[in-house]
């Protein structure tokens, strides 16, 4: 009788389901890697059934791509928030923000490398990775356009080209830092990124 009076349990909002699944997937993927992670374990960690993963992400590949994509978007938002108005400081500030991602989040680098390696042998993974990389480059190009417009800096190449250069650079630096963190340390990573950004931009014209 009491159960009838209480009524049915409210459904968890879809956005909350997605958030919890992404958090659980991030934890499990980081701990076990892509291959050894089971969807049942991810769903259990999040407090749902495996069906929730399929309804929100379609597949294990789609879930993994969403994990990597969400973290990239968080980085983009952080970068835009932290940049100041002084054009001269933009290359250094942007380099510091990106360096933190490369150096302080090695798990993301490891997962990205594992996913990219698997994409060479798995068409489904490759399809997810291709779309993810395109989305990331498009978002980076938009961010670069926003930053340069706000700061007055001018690009020496098209935003899409700058995004591709920085995307490849950060992926490469992430791999090198994982392989040799002693020599390719935070200082080396930041210097490489700042130098590249400086080469891609010129100060605003003086009145």
What are 2-59's pLDDT values in tens digits? 555 555 557 788 889 999 999 999 889 888 888 889 999 999 999 999 999 999 999 8
The pLDDT, as a whole number, for residue 106 is 79
Reading the block at residue 91, the tokens are 């290359």
Ramachandran class of 47: left when φ > 0, alpha when ψ lies in -120 to 50, beta otherwise:
left
Burial zone of 104 (CB within 10 Å; 0-12 exposed, 13-18 middle, 19+ buried): exposed
pLDDT band at 207 (very low <50, low <70, confident <90, very high): very low
CA distances from 155 to 87, 144, 191 (A): 12, 9, 19
Q: Residue written as tokens 């080396």?
A: 188
- Reported as half-sphere exposure (CB side, CA atoms, 13 A), residue 150 has a value of 15
pTM for the predicted model, two decimal places:
0.76
The pLDDT, as a whole number, for residue 1 is 47
């Amino acid at each position: 009788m009491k159960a009838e009076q209480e009524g049915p349990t409210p459904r968890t909002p879809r956005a909350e389901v997605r958030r919890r699944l992404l958090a659980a997937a991030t934890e499990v993927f980081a701990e076990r890697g892509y291959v050894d992670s089971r969807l049942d374990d991810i769903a259990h960690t999040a407090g749902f059934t495996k069906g929730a993963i399929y309804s929100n992400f379609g597949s294990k590949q789609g879930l993994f791509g969403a994990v990597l994509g969400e973290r990239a978007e968080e980085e983009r938002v952080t970068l835009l928030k932290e940049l100041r108005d002084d054009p001269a400081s933009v290359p250094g500030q942007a380099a510091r923000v990106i360096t933190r991602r490369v150096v302080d989040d090695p798990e993301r680098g490891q997962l990205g490398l594992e996913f990219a390696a698997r994409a060479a042998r798995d068409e489904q993974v490759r399809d997810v990775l291709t779309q993810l990389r395109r989305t990331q480059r498009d978002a980076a190009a938009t961010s670069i356009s926003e930053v340069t417009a706000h700061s007055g800096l001018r690009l020496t190449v098209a935003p899409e080209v700058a995004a591709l250069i920085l995307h490849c650079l950060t992926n490469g630096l992430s791999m090198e830092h994982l392989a040799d963190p002693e020599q390719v340390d935070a200082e080396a990573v930041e210097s490489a990124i700042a130098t590249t950004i400086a080469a891609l931009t010129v100060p605003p014209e003086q009145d």
